[in-house]
Structure 1
Amino acid sequence: MAVTKGKTKTPDEILQVDEIFEKEDLEWAGVVRSWLNEHVRDNIGDWYLDGTIPARELAEGLGELGVLGMHLEGYECAGSTATQYGLACRELEAVDSGLRSLVSVQGSLAMFSIHHWGSEEQKQEWLPQMAAGRAIGCFGLTEPDVGSDPAGMKTRATKDGSDWILNGAKMWITNSPVSDVMVVWAKTDEVDEKTGEKGVVRGFVVPTDTPGVETPEVQRKLSLRASITGEIVLDNVRLPESAMLPKASGLKGPLSALSEARYGIVFGVTGAARDSLEEALRYTDTRIQFDRPLSSFQISQQKLAKAFGEYSAITLTAAHIGRLKDSAAGVRPEQISLGKMVNVDTAMNIARDLRALFGGSGITSEYSPLRHAINLETVLTYEGTHEVHQLTLGRAMTGINAFAN
């Protein structure tokens, strides 16, 4: 039987998803996509297989493009809207989650912490360099034995005259082996004025060439391989008083940065889902089985239709959260948790389901869905695990904190 074939639609055309964004925002996203297509896309599969990425070269290119810390004001940062930043994250993660991680850690964790909580001297010294990609930053919060409970951190900062001495270790730190500066969170001997308890959390800006700092790379990763992940080891690292972030006291400092990074993820993973759909549409349109394109079979169309619907839903969620963040009222942490929880899980399942359409070819690096699905296993875990965001939403809905139950 002859197959009558019409024009293949892109993932955004069915529901006219792009209609919800401003024209200039979409034009900016197009600029980012073009740069990535020219400089990154053809190489990302090999970088993933090699378990690395040319972070410094990419940082300089991304700095020139203007995406590093682009949502921050001043200090040679672009001062873009939250939605524009989100759309940039969507294009970055459409190529690979590791690339979006590089940008998120640089701008939403390290740069945001300095911008929001740092001294004027710290901002002037580091932010212009980091915005240009001349300096790479990382963010040290997670520890080998402390993940979802940052209050249990063991890294300590003690006063020695006017200096601070840092000891401890951080784990799963994106960019640390190639970083020039790190924002490290540690417990001090200070007493919390509200609780009366000893051990106030403080942030410190630490140049990685400081004596006593080591940043060994994590090897043998199965996920997020096109990214450089490491540790931070602090052995009697002496810092001047000026290294402390003066405006950050308690967990509010690191948690505010994590919320910024989660926002980028809410948008970013829609890019991984979109790319998986685009790849599946191209493949099923050209792959002939039983004298017909694979896209003509009911089971193929069922999988594609399900993915189209799910992709549209998570994109609308991201767009709404972006508008909230750009509004005068702003966005609440539980709203970002909702977006992170739903969007990552949905995008991961889209990539998994679509991989099956590729048959045996789907397990090679030639096609992106399996790579996206494996990467999203990591995204599901970092910046708050899936379960932590479920409990955050549960607390918002019920008024009951179940974290310690």
Structure 2
Amino acid sequence: MAPGFPLAPGATIGILGGGQLGRMLALAAARLGFDVVILTPELDAPASRVARETLIAPFDDPDGLARLADLCDVITYEFENVPAAAVERLKALGAPVAPSGLALAVAQDRVAEKTFLNEAGVRTVAFAQVDSGEDALEAAAHIGVPSLMKTRREGYDGKGQKWVEHAADAADVFASLGSVPCILEAPAEFVRELSVIAARGQDGELAIYPLGENHHEGGILRRTVAPAPASPDLADQAERIAAQILTRLDYVGVIGIELFELADGRLLANEIAPRVHNTGHWTQDGCEVCQFEQHIRAVAGWPLGPTDARAHVEMLNLLGDEAEAWAKLAAEPETRLHLYGKREAKPGRKMGHINRLSGL
């Protein structure tokens, strides 16, 4: 355990980012007796309205980071596109940051991510680095088609990626993505998309949640069903993958790991997210301790809580104006409603989610 930990109630936790994940982290921290300070470039951010204080500044602003370091006993982040340099600056100022900058750097670059996973003994699809049109043609010839080209950085919810249907078109696809560094991935012949939410404490303690089964529409997560039906072997594979990743990163906090289940029962890792994760929202009403409280426990140096499921849950994201049905949803006895406090509904924008419960 690092000096100064575990943090006592009344300590202050800093969060880089003011979106819905920061909001739910702040609410979990408040229930455990912590104060929260948000740093975000966004005015009137969802997390700001449930935090003690908000610093309005870019994530790489030296003055904002210095102020955050001065106010907080530990600092975490709600999304993985925070500049890794910001984390290094906070550490140079003497502020504890969890998860580490290494986790952030790995997750921000898809080539680095898959390389890390393979080095950690975790299987992925075949992939190739693409830095030019010539690379794209060579990669498509080597990996085959159809294959999926993605920008190495900053793509999310289906953005920054296109299919290469014909090898001769690979250079054109690369150009259509902006001729920025990319990765070409072989398709995964999967039968299900799964995810595992896991946590590691400052003392190395692990806590792993049951698998969730995920369904996407248009590149955006639509629903998660959990606990997903899974054989003991499948559950063991997921736990081993999570343990290998968390241990190799010397990780502290909650992580989301997206997985492909193949027809032969093997699991491939698709992506990691060094933060609380949309596919873990079911834990808020389906588990003894949810992913948000678990993350706060981990970064504060507290013991991790139990991850047992206490209900079957269908989590549905509410996109755009779907959140306007709040009165109807709130009247359903089996439904738990979570709204993010965003001021403007836009098509495809995540405005909230519901967890529909049934018995185990």
> Normalized against structure 2, the TM-score is what?
0.29
Bigger proportion of residues as helix? 1
The structure showing larger relative contact order (alpha-carbon pairs under 8 Å, at least 6 residues apart) is 1
Greater gyration radius: 1
> Normalized against structure 1, the TM-score is what?
0.26
Bigger proportion of residues as strand? 2
